[in-house]
Amino acid sequence: MFKKSIVGKAAKKVAALTMAAVLSVGMFGGCGDESTSSSGTSNGGSDSSNASASSGDYQTDPSNFDRDTITLTVFSERANYQGEQYGWTAQVLLDKFNVKLNIIPNSGGAFSTRMEAGDLGDIIVFGAEGDYMKARDAGLLFNWEEDGILDEFGSYMKENCKAALEKNRGMNEDGKIYGLGYEVATSSKDIASFFYTWDLRWDLYEQLGHPEVKNMDDYLNMLIEMKKICPTDESGKPTYAFSLWPDWDGDMVMYVKSTATAYYGYDEFGIGLYDPNTGKFYGALDDGSPYLEMLQFYNKLYQNDLLDPDSMTATYDTMIEKVKKGGVFCSIFNYAGCLAYNTENHTSQNKIMRSMKPSESSPIVYGLNPLGGNNYWAIGAKSEYPDVCMQIINYIFTPEGRLTFEYGPKGSTWDYNDEGYLYFTELGKKTSNDNSTQMEAPYSGTYKEGECQINMVSWSIDAVNLDSKVGETYNHVNWKTEQTDAVCDADKDWREFTGCTSVNEYMKKGNYTVSPGSAFVGSQKSDELKTTWNQVTKCITEYTWKAIYAKDDKEFASLVKAMKAKAKGYGYQECWDWTNAEAQRRKAAEDAAKANQE
């Protein structure tokens, strides 16, 4: 669901896969959690700056049914689909708003083409902040306050997303509101669920006698011993500690920089990593940098036959299939670990992935942000139906809308019980476990066929649900009705060994680093810097992969030296200086956000 900004590009993508994986295997054990809210109360525990409780009875404008059904064009930079929205989502929108959606993704230069034509569409979803600004400056976005549209048709957002709307106003020199960010939170004091969870095959770790793991050297030694007791997977193929994939590589190799994030708590930032505690920037190629440290770790894995040799050419899909077949021992991410592996088939065999982080690590966790993130909902200036567009976006920002587009139609796949707790219906249990499940009347097709193809969210999945009488979040792993006992003996051993019953409880028991939400907005690069940046980052990613596959320490050192030299020649220092200046701006914004909490 999520995509990129200068802060934590892969983190947004990871979060999307996390929730997709939760939906596909959520009914099986090993990854259930209690709420991560630090301020949740019976009335939602929200910041007065952003949210207030509201009735859950969301009525749509009756006049929508005094006209013929209309088709709205949705241009979504985050979409992976082109064409008409089908299935249960289409039925929900038809029933509530008498509309159909035609979705256009940003492929084949669609954004540039539509900008030149002067019409981006009716509803617009920006996955890149720079594109939002270009469209705004070109006059292609509708002013949400024109003709009282926000007041009349966006009342839920106006009442409950005040801080996020004012953030958008502050971004625009004319003081108007042209959009609303995604992943909005009700409180800046809450944190998201951990997804850098250091999952590993706990059943194998138990067999090894729970060896102490303080740092990455201990982790490597533990993995060497783990392969000795489990050399092949369920298909008889060799097992590996890690299986990587290059699909998500950006300015650096994703898995390498993400391991530094999982260990040190430093966030991906430009051409390196950023320490949220101090504001210090660590360039990827600086001597002794966290990036180079983790690069060497993966080379050590390769030299010890612990890294999937197909990693450089793998895709996410081929990687996850190996995880599901027991071919991979661990993952720093939950979506490529427990959420993929912990099926009923595995737990019934006493096989399970559970969290086990090095004791000296301090994994990052992201603070929720009432200002929202840097992807945006907007309405096209040339739309003939800005009122209907506003109604749809407003509904998506209601708790019912957020839950519907995450889990399916209310009453069909989920609902509230008599005590006010959210729960999955029998159908919802099936769809959350298997998205190929056939929907029941009045809906048609499978759950997957009907999933919303806009690929964008409103509230953060870990935000407090303002309709909840008991302060639950939208994240189903936190729901009271989803908590389970140990699903197998190995799971019971994990609980006894850690003294915890959930992943978030375990992760918060040790060290962790909070990356706070703030109003920080990354600066735009000049055309000249973009050219330099592309050359430098291409060099970093290409040579990182070469160094991962170095046959020995000597070749590794040679490749790293060559990477540094070539990147320097392309303009690494210029990129470093720009990112370092951005880091100072980010730290100032975060300090201001913290001051506002006090």
> Which pLDDT belongs to residue 30?
53
Over residues 165-182, the mean pLDDT reads 96
When mean pLDDT is compared across 13-22, 344-353, 359-368, 430-439, the lowest value belongs to: 13-22
SS3 label, residue 238: strand
343 pLDDT more than 50: yes
Q: Please give the Cα distance from 196 to 186 (Å, whole number).
A: 23
Over residues 441-457, the mean pLDDT reads 97
Higher pLDDT, 61 or 559: 559
49-59 pLDDT per residue, tens: 444 434 455 76
Q: How many CB atoms lie within 10 A of CB 65?
A: 12
354-411 pLDDT per residue, tens: 999 999 999 999 999 999 999 999 999 999 999 999 999 999 999 999 999 999 999 9
> Which pLDDT belongs to residue 585?
96
- Mean pLDDT for the chain overall: 90
What is the band of 12 on the pLDDT scale with cuts at 50, 70, 90? very low
**Structural element, H or E, at residue 332:** strand 330-333
Q: How far from 506 is each of 329, 489, 503, CA to CA, in Å?
A: 20, 18, 5
Burial label, 412 (beta-carbon count in 10 A; 0-12, 13-18, 19+): buried
CA angle, 102 then 106 then 111, to 5°: 105
18 pLDDT more than 60: no
68 pLDDT more than 60: yes
> Which pLDDT belongs to residue 596?
76
Tell me the Cα Rg of the chain: 24
98-111 pLDDT per residue, tens: 999 999 999 999 99
User: Cα 473 to chain center, whole Å?
Assistant: 16
14 pLDDT more than 70: no
Side chain identity at 592, as an amino acid letter? A
Over residues 52-69, the mean pLDDT reads 74
Over residues 211-239, the mean pLDDT reads 98
Question: Which parts of 280-337 fold into alpha helices (H)?
Answer: 290-303, 316-324
15 pLDDT more than 70: no
316 pLDDT more than 80: yes
> Which pLDDT belongs to residue 31?
59
> Which pLDDT belongs to residue 136?
97
CA angle, 198 then 233 then 435, to 5°: 70
Over residues 570-589, the mean pLDDT reads 97
Contacts of 167 (CB under 8 A, 6+ apart): 181, 371, 372, 519
> Which pLDDT belongs to residue 57?
56
- Percent of all residues in the chain with a pLDDT value above 90, rounded to a whole number: 83
230 pLDDT more than 80: yes
460-472 pLDDT per residue, tens: 999 999 999 999 9
Tokens linked to 78: 């985050």
What is the band of 598 on the pLDDT scale with cuts at 50, 70, 90? low
4 pLDDT more than 90: no
Over residues 27-36, the mean pLDDT reads 46
User: Cα 499 to chain center, whole Å?
Assistant: 28
Sign of CA pseudo-dihedral 191, 490, 200, 323: negative
> Which pLDDT belongs to residue 409?
97
13 pLDDT more than 80: no
511-547 pLDDT per residue, tens: 999 999 888 888 889 999 999 999 999 999 999 999 9
SS3 label, residue 338: helix
